[in-house]
Structure 1
Amino acid sequence: MGTKALKKFTLAEMKDKYIGTVGTKARDEYEYELRMDVLGKMIKAARQERKLTQEELGRLVGVQKAQISKLESSANSATIDTIIRVFKALKADIHFSVKLEDNFVELT
């Protein structure tokens, strides 16, 4: 009995197959949710680095603890203004990068 080699797939190939190709609605939604999840984790890590509770950060930002909790679990419900206020309260720099076709625009 011979062994059959398993075919290897890249992450991009798996996403194309199971989520949708780049530019499709399903893929765009997936990528957006992923970025928002990462942003929430960054906020949580920065808060913990500053040794703040969610309640303390909420007071600095002017929101309830529950909103900080939601933001950390997924930032997709937050406005850009709230995200900027959170990072300012954490004394953290935040940079936005926008790609317009082949050109990048950076906001700091």
Structure 2
Amino acid sequence: MAKEKIKSYSLDEMKDEFIGKKGTKERDEYEYELRMDVLGKMIKTARQERNLTQEQLGELIGVQKSQISKLESSANSATIDTILKVFRALKAEINFNVKIEKDYIQLA
């Protein structure tokens, strides 16, 4: 009995197949949600490394504990201003890269 070779797929191939090709609305929404989720996890990690509670971080930037909790679970509803305030309070550097066609603009 001959052994069948199992076809393997890359992550991008799986995303293309099940979420949508790059540039489609579905794929763009997925990638955005993923980035916001990662950003929330980065905020939580930085806060924990600074040994701050959500309440303490909230006090540093002038928001309630519940806002920090929402931000850490998903940064979707946060403004860039709030995100910058959080990272400044955590004494952490954050950079934004904007790609315009083939050129990159970096905002710090």
TM-score (norm: length of structure 1): 0.98
Q: Which runs of 4+ in 1 moved over 6 A?
A: none
How far the C-alpha of 1:3 sits from its partner, in A, is 1.9
Name the residue aligned to 1:19.
19
Name the residue aligned to 2:77.
77
The one-letter code of the counterpart of 1:83 is: I
- Aligned-residue sequence identity (percent) comes to 69
Deviations, residues 20-45 of structure 1 (Å, cap 9, x unaligned): 00000000000000000000000000
The one-letter code of the counterpart of 2:97 is: S
The one-letter code of the counterpart of 2:30 is: Y
CA distance in 1, matches of 2:3, 2:18: 27
RMSD, aligned α-carbons: 0.5
Please give the secondary structure, in 1, of the residue aligned with 2:94: coil
Name the residue aligned to 1:101.
101
CA distance in 2, matches of 1:9, 1:94: 33
The one-letter code of the counterpart of 2:43 is: I
Please give the secondary structure, in 2, of the residue aligned with 1:40: helix
**Structure 2, unpaired ranges of 5+:** none
**Structure 1, unpaired ranges of 5+:** none
Name the residue aligned to 2:8.
8
TM-score (norm: length of structure 2): 0.98
Q: How many residues in Structure 1 have an aligned counterpart in Structure 2?
A: 108
Please give the secondary structure, in 2, of the residue aligned with 1:105: strand
How far the C-alpha of 1:2 sits from its partner, in A, is 2.1
